[in-house]
Structure 1
């Protein structure tokens, strides 16, 4: 072959210096907390309902002993006065001889029959309503919220960073060599 081509590749030189990071302190911290507990104080009074049915029971004949005794005494006094008035009237009728009437048959019928006649009636009892009194309850409270006091101080992290380097240089440039042999050249025309 009359032409020869030779080539060599270029060679690079690469030098690197690694980056470095130096840190002092890790930022860690010990928590310093003070806590105060919350408190809730409550005081309550219960509601009360008072139902007084004394009047209703009294209308039905169910009375307490004091009212029963007072009514019995009043009834006894009334019947005593009615009895005395009847006896006095009967005596006055017998004493009035001037009328020339015989009161004994009328008094006998009165004392035997008329005095014991009664009228009966039906009625719904009780007529009055019970007395209802409401005493409301009450709730008093004092609330003190919980508190947290944070006395933690953060620590600084110190760092020293050295950047890395990459140096690239051409150690050997590439070449292309072309040679030819002139003795072997022949021209034909």
Structure 2
């Protein structure tokens, strides 16, 4: 008996892939930076110190007096001597007026008027301590500072990108094939 038979023969297709990778290059330029620092405004005001030394009394102690002071002292001394003289003459006149009470006023007055007075003297310092007057007003300093903020200018630079896209190339290395045959087979029964 004869049986028909189908014979199928297939060849698979083959493809080839060639890949070129993508490339990316990146550069970042530095930012442009400008910094300026303005000088601060500085104002200094100084009032000079003053030193005053008054040696008038110290000079007077060593007899270096001004004319006006000498005139004033001599006038004062003359007035005081005149008052002392008037008191002495008045006292002596009173003693002479009462001569009847006894005593010997005329020789006493002669002795009193002719003798130099006794001056008392102790240790003295010339010039006296504290006779030099010193006055000092210290200097005054006023400082005014106006600070200035820095001026900062920044220019950002964008990154530089270079991109090469990747590629995939597909090639047909073997085409698919399908072959179909009809054959009759003899079979013994």
CA root-mean-square deviation: 4.1
Which SS does the other structure have where 1:155 is aligned? coil
> Residue in 1 aligned with 2:154?
152
Give the TM-score normalised by the residue count of structure 1. Answer: 0.53
Distance 1:34 1:96, change over 3 A: closer
The answer as to 2:75 corresponding to 1:76 is no
Determine the structure 1 residue equivalent to 2:174: none
Deviations 1:80-131 (A, max 9, x none): 112223333444444556457664433333333x2x1433524222144544
CA shift in 2, pair 1:109/1:148, >3 Å: closer
The answer (yes or no) to whether the contact 1:37–1:147 under 8 Å persists in 2 is no
Per-residue deviation at 1:58?
Answer: 4.1
Q: Which has the higher strand share?
A: 2
| Maintained 8 Å contact 1:48/1:136 | yes
Maintained 8 Å contact 2:32/2:157: no
The answer as to whether partners of 2:50 and 2:138 remain within 8 angstroms in 1 is: yes
| Structure 1 segment 108-187 matched on structure 2, within 5 A | 108-112=110-114, 114=115, 116-125=116-125, 126-128=128-130, 130-160=132-162
Shift of 1:42: 0.8
> TM-score, normalization: structure 2?
0.53
Match of 1:46 in 2: 48
CA distance in 2, matches of 1:140, 1:82: 61
Tell me the distance in 2 between the aligned counterparts of 1:85 and 1:96. 17
* Cα distance between partner residues in 2 of 1:28 and 1:153: 9
Structure 2: runs of 5+ lacking an equivalent: 1-19, 166-189
Q: Which stretches in structure 1 are left out of the alignment for 5+ residues?
A: 1-16, 164-189
The CA deviation string for residues 112-162 of structure 1, in whole angstroms up to 9 with x for no partner, is 3x2x14335242221445444332322211212343322231212313265
